[in-house]
């Protein structure tokens, strides 16, 4: 893989579709990728580390960053704010490829910055029932949270058209191979040569 052309990959998905595992696999295989660490007002989960999983900040601090126009994008999701700081991206892209784990709202906003060369991938399960099964079996969310996350599945579907690729994660290895292919195509050809 050539390292001279830096790319930005957005990986959106409903939680439970396998995004975290795929993200880790991309980073392990391609050390050139840096994961964009978002700011959020959501409280950390027990296994999460400030500055690694997210920058955890107060709603007041988040709002002041909005007013200072510091975000490339931000969104309110499940009662909390999430956003990508311009300074973090602008610094990282000089040396690294960047992987964004953001939702469709953020994807729409980032797409407006024509200077950013984005590959937009939506990762999902075969259907809503499969997602429900995964959310319940991983046992990380309360029944109410599972319901909320499932209801956002219906909203998310409406925005699949905003993505360059929609991948069904039926088999993790197959799905990862598809992502590798997409990445290596962009690394090999200039984006203007790619027919979408
Ligand atoms: P979670 O609370 O499960 O970590 O994330 C909830 C949702 O927020 C996920 O769909 C994730 O992709 C999205 N998200 C995380 N960071 C950002 C961000 O910086 N901007 C936007 N727009 N969405 C984000």
For residue 33, is pLDDT > 50? yes
Q: Of the segments 127-141, 163-177, 179-193, which one has the largest average pLDDT value? A: 163-177
Tell which wins on pLDDT, 12 or 148.
12
Mean pLDDT of the chain: 89
Closest CA to 98 of 9, 3, 187: 9
CA 184 to ligand 1 centroid distance, Å = 26
The radius of gyration computed from the CA coordinates of the chain, to the nearest angstrom, equals 17
Quick: pLDDT tens for 96-106.
999 999 999 99
Q: Is 101 in the pocket of ligand 1 (CB under 6 A)?
A: yes
Query: Cα–chain-centroid distance for residue 41?
Result: 17
CA dist 172 and 169 (Å) reads 6
CA of 102 to the centre of ligand 1 (A): 5
Q: Which atom of ligand 1 is nearest to the CA of 75?
A: 22
Kindly report the CATH class assigned to 8-194: alpha beta
Residue 103 CA to ligand 1 center (angstroms) comes to: 6
108 lines ligand 1 (CB under 6 A): no
Give 170's DSSP letter: S
pLDDT of residue 145: 83
pTM of the model: 0.89
């Amino acid at each position: 893989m050539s390292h001279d052309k830096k790319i930005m990959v957005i990986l959106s998905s409903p939680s439970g579709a396998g995004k975290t595992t795929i993200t880790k696999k991309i980073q392990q295989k391609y050390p050139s990728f840096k994961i964009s660490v978002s700011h959020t007002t959501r409280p950390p989960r027990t296994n999460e580390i400030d500055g690694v999983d997210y920058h955890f900040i107060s709603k007041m601090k988040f709002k002041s960053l909005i007013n200072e126009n510091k975000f490339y994008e931000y969104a309110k999701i499940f009662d909390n704010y999430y956003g990508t700081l311009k300074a973090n991206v602008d610094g990282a892209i000089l040396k690294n490829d960047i992987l964004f784990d953001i939702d469709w709202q953020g994807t729409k906003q980032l797409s407006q910055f024509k200077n950013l060369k984005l590959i937009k991938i939506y990762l999902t399960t075969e259907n809503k029932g499969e997602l429900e099964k995964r959310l319940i079996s991983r046992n990380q969310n309360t029944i109410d949270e599972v319901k909320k996350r499932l209801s956002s599945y219906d909203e998310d579907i409406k925005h699949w058209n905003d993505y360059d690729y929609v991948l069904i994660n039926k088999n993790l290895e197959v799905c990862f191979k598809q992502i590798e292919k997409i990445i290596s195509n962009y690394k090999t050809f200039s984006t203007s040569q790619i027919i979408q």
